[in-house]
Amino acid sequence: MTAPSARPSGPAPAAGSPSVGADPSLAVQTTGLTKAFGKQRAVADVDLAVPVGSVYGFLGPNGSGKTSTIRMLLGLTSATSGDIRVLGGSMPDRARDVLPRVGALVEGPAFYPFLSGRANLVRLDSGDRRAPASSRRARVAAALDRVGLGHAADKKAHAYSLGMKQRLGIANALLMPRDLLVLDEPSNGLDPQGTREVRSLVRSLADDGTTIFVSSHLLAEVEQMCTHIGVMSAGRLLTQGTLDDLRALGAHRVRVLTPDPDAAHDVLVRLGLRPEARDRHLQPPETATGSARVEAELTVEGLTPEAIVAALVADDVRVRGFEVAGASLEDRFVDLTGEGFDVAG
Ligand SMILES: Nc1ncnc2c1ncn2[C@@H]1O[C@H](COP(=O)(O)OP(=O)(O)OP(=O)(O)O)[C@@H](O)[C@H]1O
Ligand SMILES: [Mg+2]
């Protein structure tokens, strides 16, 4: 491998020479990324597209390939096949240009147990050739404050709780300004308060313009913290996009309150919604007007709720109530993966 040529200081341009397919709007881009362990493909043909400035939630159940993917992105392990670009640079070839601009937390960094949190960070910071020694103490103090460890800075690391260690790991990733943060399950081992703190930390870092790639097996967490999401299952990237895109794709349940349930049912069927018996509840009239509720589960691809109401009205179905319920991401993920995600923790 040839050493990268010297470059003037200042804002770093995309590392590596541009090659076909490199997209400057993406902070992370992979094509056909695959990692095999023996016969098992832990990561299979993954095409990630992480937009610059996004908070990208890399969601998947245990063993779905999140950490393996992250380790390849960071050059910690080699890919079996596929291409990786991080901040425009091809990995691992351009690691020396790319990695200083990337802060990472992967499966708990190793700390010296008998050094304090502060002393551990000072040590790690002094291992970074770009980090000026004169500002080291201030830099370490700021990073500790940022993750809420200021009060415990002088406690020995072995006396830290798992959550505190996790936060110390994030502080380490934050010592220097970064263009990209890669956090592998940063909330692992945190209590609800710690989880909230990590969430707000991630959001405030994103507000500063850092792109954040964060893995999680917790849907609720990703939903509250991310702008984009990629869903892994058994090594495959099932879908990715903005949270809004994914919500819009999901199966929705519509409820129509009408005194004309049979006519409503016919219209829904004609629209291709096939309300099944279990989806259709004709309740006894609640009032003298005899309204009944018709429920249907539908996939709204190419069919907006407005179009459904319009079709009902055009057929003289009297619509007394119309509700689109539960465009929930959770339903969407269960559809996609055939398995549930932890939603609470
Ligand atoms: N070094 C390794 N040798 C063999 N198999 C491995 C190795 N690392 C990971 N695997 C396997 O690859 C698959 C994906 O593991 P990985 O750790 O990437 O999943 P994950 O999504 O990060 O899971 P978790 O949510 O539990 O952290 C698993 O089946 C795992 O057993
Ligand atoms: Mg993992």
Answer yes or no: is the C-beta of 38 below 6 A from any ligand 1 atom: no
Residue 75 CA to ligand 1 center (angstroms) comes to 16
The reported pLDDT for the residue numbered 294 is: 66
- Relative to the alpha carbon of 107, which ligand is closest? 2
- What's the pLDDT score for residue 343? 46
Q: Identify the pLDDT of residue 282.
A: 46
> Domains along the chain?
26-242 (3.40.50.300), 251-326 (3.30.70.260)
pLDDT tens by residue, the chain, 345 residues: 333 343 344 344 444 444 456 889 999 999 999 999 999 999 999 999 999 999 999 999 889 999 999 999 999 999 999 999 999 999 999 999 999 999 999 876 679 999 999 999 999 999 888 899 999 999 999 999 988 899 999 999 999 987 888 889 999 999 998 999 999 999 887 888 888 888 888 888 899 889 999 999 888 888 889 999 999 999 999 999 998 888 766 656 677 888 888 888 888 888 877 665 334 444 444 443 455 666 665 555 556 778 888 999 999 998 888 877 655 677 777 777 776 655 444
Q: Tell me the ligand closest to 42's alpha carbon.
A: 1
234 CA from centroid of ligand 1 (Å): 10
> Ligand 1 within 6 A of 63 CB?
yes
Amino acid at 162: L
Tell me which residue of 103, 101, 83 sits closest to 91, measured CA to CA: 83
CA separation, residue 60 to residues 203, 327, 329 (Å): 21, 20, 13
Judge if the beta carbon of residue 120 lies within 6 A of ligand 1: no
3-state helix vs strand vs coil in the chain, percent to 5 = 35, 25, 40
- Nearest in space to 195 (alpha carbons), one of 183, 207, 206, 211: 183
Report the residue among 58, 59, 67 best suited for mutation to probe ligand 1: largest number of ligand atoms under 8 A from its CB: 67
Per the listing, tokens 């954040």 go with: 212
**3-class secondary structure, 185:** coil
The CB of 67 under 6 Å from ligand 1? The reply is yes
Ligand 1 binding pocket mutation candidate from 68, 69, 72, 76 (most atoms within 8 A of CB): 68
Determine which residue's CA is closest to atom 26 belonging to ligand 1.
62
Task: Using the mean position of ligand 2's atoms as its centre, give its distance from the Cα of residue 113 in Å.
Answer: 23
CA of 61 to the centre of ligand 2 (A): 9
Cβ pair 255, 294 in contact under 8 A: yes
- What is the pLDDT, as a whole number, of residue 304? 74
Residue 219 Cα, ligand 1 centroid: separation in angstroms?
A: 19
65 lines ligand 1 (CB under 6 A): yes
DSSP string over 39-99 = TEEEEEEE--EEETT-EEEEE--TTSSHHHHHHHHTTSS--SEEEEEETTEEETTTHHHHG
| Atom 27 of ligand 1, residue of closest alpha carbon | 62
* Ligand 1 within 6 A of CB of 42: yes
CA-closest residue to ligand 1 atom 28: 63
- Say if ligand 1 is within 6 A of residue 60 CB: yes
169 lines ligand 1 (CB under 6 A): no
| pLDDT score of 295 | 63
Nearest protein CA to atom 6 of ligand 1, as residue: 37
71: tokens are: 């380790």
The predicted pLDDT at position 16 comes to: 43
Residue 68's closest CA among 80, 56, 57?
80
Which residue's CA is the closest to the ligand 1 atom numbered 9? 68
